[in-house]
Structure 1
Amino acid sequence: MSIPIDQKAPQFFHGTKAQLNPGDLIAPGFNSNYGKQKQAKYVYLNATLDAAIWGAELALGDAPGRIYIVEPTGPYEDDPNLTDKKFPGNPSKSYRTGAPLLVVGEVTDWQGHSPDRLQEMRDNLDRLKQRGIEAIED
């Protein structure tokens, strides 16, 4: 018996610049790739490839962006950094969890945003930073 597509478990992604392998865990407790780089209480996952692409492109560091297919090992919730007044209803399907994410694969054929669009996003993040608004709130 096949399961209708709308009843399948969602596929989740995590964008980063870290080099990982299937079986690795992405866990809270390390310094964040964003903002003030404080110790992260959560790890973030997305059910849309576009949101994971932003994560891979905007993560700090010089390494190339990478997108991993991940499975949460515990409960997860809507990411309040993206689902409050900014984007009601969670259209980016962005989540966070205090439990590790299990890396089960890597997306290698993704297309990044245009250099102009990427710079526009970085400029917007810089404006928020100048106003004292942190991109990641725990």
Structure 2
Amino acid sequence: MTKNVNLWVDAELTWIFDDAWMRCVGQTDPVSLRGCDCWGGLDLSNVGDVTAFVLLFHENDRFQLLPFFWIPEDKTLEKVKKENINYDKWVAEGYVTVTPGNVVDYDFVKADILRVTAGYNLKSISYDRWNAS
């Protein structure tokens, strides 16, 4: 209801319990998934939000995710100062990539997506239609 008709709801039951979520902690070596089938999900942002692209694999009897994130370079320090979000640390650690300028550079993101998916058998990409012209 929230995602499709913008109707916020309160759920009495948790969808994924914390202990189940924590059993999923681990790292996937992207090289180990080379040549494997995968499906992508893309959520574009514009100015002050994060653009996200996630690859989903079902290999070795488990689901594995490879996430990628981008934020405009000029907004990184602003987010750190105003919102106390650790983007600078995440960029330095390689979890988030900055795009040049003060808005997300879609050509930059597209080139990154083409680069990271080149070694996988990408079946399709689903995306949020907002701003996905």
Could you say which structure has the larger radius of gyration?
A: 2
Q: Whose helix proportion is higher, 1 or 2?
A: 2
TM > 0.5: no
Q: Whose RCO is larger (CA < 8 A, sep 6+)?
A: 1
